[in-house]
C-alpha cells in the first residue's frame, strides 16, 4: 500500500521521482504528489489523480537535485487534493511522505491545536510535518528532530523527510512499513519497494524496524531511535528493469498469467531429486532430525496466500501424514493462540511485507514458536524476521491480483510436503510419481494457456452474471475460494465459494437462472458425488460451468472448461490457472481496470 520514492544526487529529481511512482502504481493508490527543494523553498505538487496526470501537472523545468514523491492509499481522510502527500508544516519548510498509520494521531492533533497549530488536512501524516518543524527550532540536525518525533508516535510508519533549508539530504525511517535505500554512483535513492529503484541501481540496503537513515548524494548513515549507529550490509537484488516491462501484453495480470510455466520451472529448478524421490529446499535451516521432530504444521496467510495455505496443508498432511491446517494470519494473534513447541509454523506472503502476517510471525517468535517463511521477496521483512524458509522464485509480480506467486506457493508447498513425506512413510515409488508430476507441471500449464480462447468464450458468455457460486470438494475447495476471490477482485462480480456438500445446507436457496455455478470436477474418487452436485444445481434451474479433467454427462453443464490431468493431488494447480483466465476475461469483457482494482493494494502493510 502507498508508495514512497526519494532522490538525492546530481541529476534532476522530478523525472526520477515520477518514474519511480509509475513503477509503484501497482501497489494501489488514490492520489499522488511530489516535493522538490528548489533553492531554500519547497515546491509541492499533489492531487487526487493518477501518476500520469501528476506528470502533466509537474511539467518540465524543475532542476532540483533532491525531492520526495508519494502515492497514497487513503487511511486517515478521504482521497482529496488536500489529503494527498507530501505534507508540509505551516511554514512550508518541512515535507513528509508516510506509509502506515499512527495510532495516537488524535492525541498528537490535540497537542498541536493546543499549541495554536491547525492542521489543514485530515491525515495523520501532516501532524509529523508540524512536529518535526517544531523540533528543528531547538536542534541543528534534521535526523535528531525526526528521531525525537518518532519516539512520541505509536503505530506503523515508513517515512521520508525533506527540509528546504538542508537541500542536500533526506532522512528516512521505518517501523512496520518497508524502506529501501538504493546506492548509485554519486546519487542515492529511497523507495518503499525495489521496483522503483532497479532502473537506476541493483545495490540496496534494507532498513530494519526502529532504524533511521540520513542520505546524501554520496553517502548514508543509519542509526536507531536511541541514536546508536548501526552497520548495514549492501544487497544486490536479482531483478532488473527489464523484469518490470510490460512488453507486448495489454496489462500485467495477463503477462503474469502467461509467465507461469517459466515461473514454475524456476521454482523447481535444482530442487527435485529423482534418485531419492525427494526435494531439496536450501533455504530451510532445519536439519533432517529437526524436520522429523515436528508433530504438526500450521500455515498462516492472508487472502490468496491463506487459500493456497489450505491446499498446502492438505498436501503436507496427505504425503507426510502430519496433522496440518491453515488459518488467516489476520485472526491468529487476536485469539490468544496456544503455541505448540512441537509444531512447525509457516508464514506465507507474496510481498513478504503483509502487516497481519508479519504480526503473526512476531507473536510466534515472542512465544517461542518455530516459524519459517514462504515469500517471493528474499530481502522482505517477513523473510528477514523468519531467517529461514522457501523462496518462491516467481519473479516480480506487478498486478494487484496475484497469479504466478499463488501458483509457485502451491508448488513450494508440494515440494515441502514431498520432503517431509520422504522423511517419514512416503514410498520411493509414490515420491517419484510426485517428482515426475512436478516436472510435467509447466507443460500442463502451457496446455491450459493454449486453451485461452475457448476459456475466454465461456467467460464472455457469462459476463452478464452479477453473482456466481464457485463449488469444490476437498482438494478443490481452496481452489474454488481462490477462483471466487479472483473474480471479485478484478471484475467486481459478487462471487462466493462453497464446499459441494454444503450446498444442501443453505446455499441451494440462492440457486436460480440468474446464479451461475462454477463447479470444479476432478477425475478422482469423488467424481460420482460431484456429478450429483451438478444434477442438484441443474434441477433448480441454475446455469453450470464445469471445470473438469473428467468425462461428465453433457446435459449437466451449460459450458465446459477442460484442463489436463497431471497428478491427483497436483491437478488443483491447473484448475487454478483456468480460473485465473476465466476471471480475467470476465473482467476484460466488463471493461475493468485489471491491474489496479478499486479499493485494493498489492502489498497490504496496514491492518
Q: What is the pLDDT confidence band of residue 27, given thresholds at 50, 70 and 90?
A: low
Over residues 77-100, the mean pLDDT reads: 90
Chain mean pLDDT for the chain: 91
Over residues 266-279, the mean pLDDT reads: 95
Residue 2 appears among annotated catalytic residues? yes
Ranges of each domain in the chain: 3-244, 246-439, 451-592
Over residues 62-83, the mean pLDDT reads: 86
Task: Supply the pLDDT for residue 583.
Answer: 97
Question: Strands across the sheet with 235-236, in order?
Answer: 41-47, 31-38, 66-72, 3-8, 188-191, 180-183, 203-206, 235-236
Among 48, 28, 58, CA closest to 400: 28
Q: Mark 84-117 as b/e (b = at least 16 C-beta within 10 Å).
A: bbbbbbbeebbbbbbbbbbeebeebbeebeeeeb
Grid cell locating 306: 491463506
d(Cα 526, Cα 348) in Å, to the nearest integer?
A: 29
- pLDDT tens figures, 128-150: 999 999 999 877 799 999 999 99
Sign of CA dihedral 141, 143, 147, 150: positive
Residue 302 appears among annotated catalytic residues? no
From residue 154, alpha-carbon distances to 101, 124, 151, 290, 356 in Å are 9, 11, 8, 38, 17
- pLDDT tens figures, 361-389: 999 999 999 999 999 987 788 888 888 89
pLDDT surpasses 90 at 271: yes
Over residues 220-228, the mean pLDDT reads: 94
Could you check whether 246-439 and 451-592 share the same CATH topology?
yes
Q: What is the CATH number of domain 246-439?
A: 3.40.50.10490
- Count CB neighbours of 236 within 10 A: 8
Task: Report percent pLDDT > 90 for the chain.
Answer: 69
d(Cα 459, Cα 438) in Å, to the nearest integer?
A: 29
467 forms bridges with which residues in the sheet?
Answer: 494
pLDDT surpasses 60 at 605: no
Grid cell locating 5: 520514492
pLDDT surpasses 90 at 584: yes
Task: Supply the pLDDT for residue 1.
Answer: 56
Q: What is the pLDDT confidence band of residue 177, given thresholds at 50, 70 and 90?
A: confident
pLDDT surpasses 70 at 601: no
Least confident of 20-29, 38-47, 383-392, 474-483: 20-29
Task: Supply the pLDDT for residue 353.
Answer: 84
Over residues 396-418, the mean pLDDT reads: 95
One-character DSSP codes across 361-430 = HHHHHHTT-EEEEEES-TTSHHHHHH--EEE-------SSS-SHHHHHHHHHHHHHHHHHHHTTT--HHH
- pLDDT tens figures, 415-470: 999 999 999 989 999 999 999 999 999 999 999 999 999 999 999 999 999 999 99
Q: At what angle do helices 404-422 and 571-589 cross, to 10 degrees?
A: 170
Least confident of 69-83, 367-381, 496-510, 557-571: 69-83
pLDDT surpasses 90 at 324: yes
Planar angle of CA 443, 449, 452, nearest 5 degrees: 155
What is the end-to-end Cα distance of the chain in Å, rounded? 11
- Given the residues 2, 302, 386, 412, select the one marked as catalytic: 2
Whether 420 and 291 have beta carbons less than 8 Å apart is answered as yes
Grid cell locating 545: 460451468
Residue with the bigger pLDDT between 73 and 282: it is 282
Task: Supply the pLDDT for residue 283.
Answer: 84
451-592 is a CATH 3.40.50.10490 domain: yes
* β-strands 517-521, 170-175 pairing: unpaired
Q: What is the CATH number of domain 3-244?
A: 3.60.20.10
- Given the residues 355, 486, 596, 602, select the one marked as catalytic: 602
pLDDT surpasses 60 at 606: no
Amino acid at each position: 500500500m502507498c508508495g514512497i520514492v526519494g532522490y538525492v544526487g546530481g541529476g534532476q529529481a522530478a523525472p526520477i521521482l515520477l518514474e519511480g511512482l509509475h513503477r509503484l502504481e501497482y501497489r494501489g493508490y488514490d492520489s499522488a504528489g511530489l516535493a522538490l527543494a528548489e533553492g531554500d523553498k519547497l515546491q509541492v505538487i499533489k492531487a487526487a489523480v493518477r501518476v500520469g496526470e501528476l506528470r502533466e501537472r509537474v511539467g518540465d523545468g524543475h532542476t532540483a537535485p533532491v525531492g520526495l514523491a508519494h502515492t497514497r492509499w487513503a487511511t486517515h481522510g478521504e482521497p482529496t487534493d488536500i489529503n494527498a502527500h507530501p505534507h508540509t508544516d505551516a511554514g512550508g519548510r518541512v515535507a513528509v511522505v508516510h506509509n502506515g498509520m499512527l495510532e495516537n494521531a488524535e492525541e498528537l492533533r490535540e497537542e498541536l491545536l493546543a499549541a495554536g497549530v491547525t492542521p489543514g488536512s485530515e491525515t495523520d501524516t501532516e501532524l509529523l510535518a508540524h512536529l518535526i518543524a517544531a523540533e528543528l527550532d531547538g536542534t541543528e540536525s534534521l535526523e535528531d528532530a525526526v528521531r525525537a518525533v518518532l519516539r512520541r508516535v505509536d503505530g506503523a510508519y515508513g517515512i521520508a523527510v525533506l527540509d528546504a533549508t538542508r537541500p542536500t539530504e533526506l532522512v528516512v525511517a521505518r517501523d512496520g512499513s518497508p524502506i529501501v535505500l538504493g546506492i548509485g554512483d554519486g546519487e542515492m535513492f529511497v523507495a518503499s519497494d525495489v521496483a522503483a529503484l532497479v532502473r537506476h541501481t541493483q545495490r540496496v540496503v534494507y532498513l530494519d524496524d526502529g532504524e533511521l537513515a540520513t542520505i546524501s548524494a554520496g553517502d548514508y548513515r543509519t542509526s536507531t531511535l536511541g541514536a546508536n549507529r548501526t552497520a548495514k550490509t549492501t544487497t544486490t537484488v536479482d531483478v532488473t528493469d527489464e523484469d518490470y516491462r510490460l512488453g507486448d501484453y495489454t496489462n500485467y495480470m495477463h503477462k503474469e498469467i502467461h509467465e507461469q510455466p517459466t515461473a514454475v520451472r524456476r521454482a523447481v529448478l535444482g530442487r527435485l531429486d529423482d534418485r531419492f524421490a525427494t526435494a531439496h529446499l536450501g533455504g530451510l535451516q532445519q536439519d533432517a532430525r529437526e524436520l522429523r521432530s515436528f508433530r504438526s504444521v500450521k500455515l498462516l496467510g492472508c487472502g490468496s496466500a491463506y487459500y493456497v495455505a489450505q491446499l498446502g496443508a492438505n498436501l503436507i498432511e496427505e504425503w507426510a501424514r502430519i496433522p496440518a491446517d491453515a488459518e488467516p494470519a489476520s485472526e491468529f494473534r487476536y485469539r490468544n493462540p496456544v503455541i505448540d513447541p512441537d509444531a512447525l509454523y509457516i508464514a506465507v506472503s507474496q510481498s513478504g511485507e503483509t502487516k497481519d502476517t508479519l504480526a503473526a510471525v512476531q507473536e510466534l517468535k515472542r512465544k517461542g514458536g518455530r516459524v519459517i517463511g514462504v515469500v517471493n521477496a528474499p530481502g522482505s521483512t517477513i523473510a528477514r524476521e523468519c531467517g529461514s524458509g522457501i523462496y518462491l522464485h516467481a519473479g516480480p509480480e506487478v498486478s494487484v491480483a496475484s497469479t504466478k506467486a499463488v501458483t509457485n506457493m502451491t508448488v513450494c508447498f508440494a515440494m515441502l510436503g514431498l520432503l517431509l513425506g520422504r522423511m517419514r512413510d512416503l514410498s520411493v515409488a509414490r515420491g517419484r510419481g510426485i517428482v515426475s508430476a512436478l516436472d510435467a507441471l509447466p507443460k500442463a500449464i502451457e496446455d491450459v494457456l493454449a486453451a485461452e480462447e475457448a476459456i475466454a468464450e465461456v467467460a464472455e458468455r457469462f459476463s452478464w452474471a452479477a453473482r456466481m457460486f464457485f463449488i469444490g470438494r476437498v482438494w478443490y475447495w481452496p481452489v474454488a475460494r481462490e477462483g471466487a476471490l479472483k473474480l471479485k477482485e478484478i471484475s467486481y462480480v459478487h462471487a462466493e465459494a462453497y464446499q459441494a456438500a454444503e450446498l444442501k445446507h443453505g446455499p441451494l436457496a440462492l440457486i436460480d437462472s440468474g446464479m451461475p455455478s462454477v463447479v470444479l470436477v476432478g477425475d478422482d474418487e469423488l467424481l460420482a458425488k460431484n456429478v450429483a452436485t451438478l444434477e442438484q444445481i441443474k434441477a433448480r434451474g441454475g446455469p453450470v460451468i464445469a471445470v473438469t479433467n473428467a468425462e461428465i454427462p453433457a446435459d449437466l453443464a451449460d459450458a465446459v472448461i477442460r484442463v489436463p490431468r497431471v497428478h491427483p493431488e497436483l491437478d488443483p494447480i491447473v484448475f487454478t490457472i483456468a480460473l485465473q483466465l476465466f476471471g480475467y476475461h470476465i473482467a476484460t469483457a466488463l471493461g475493468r481496470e485489471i491491474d489496479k482494482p478499486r479499493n485494493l493494494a498489492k502489498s497490504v502493510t496496514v491492518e
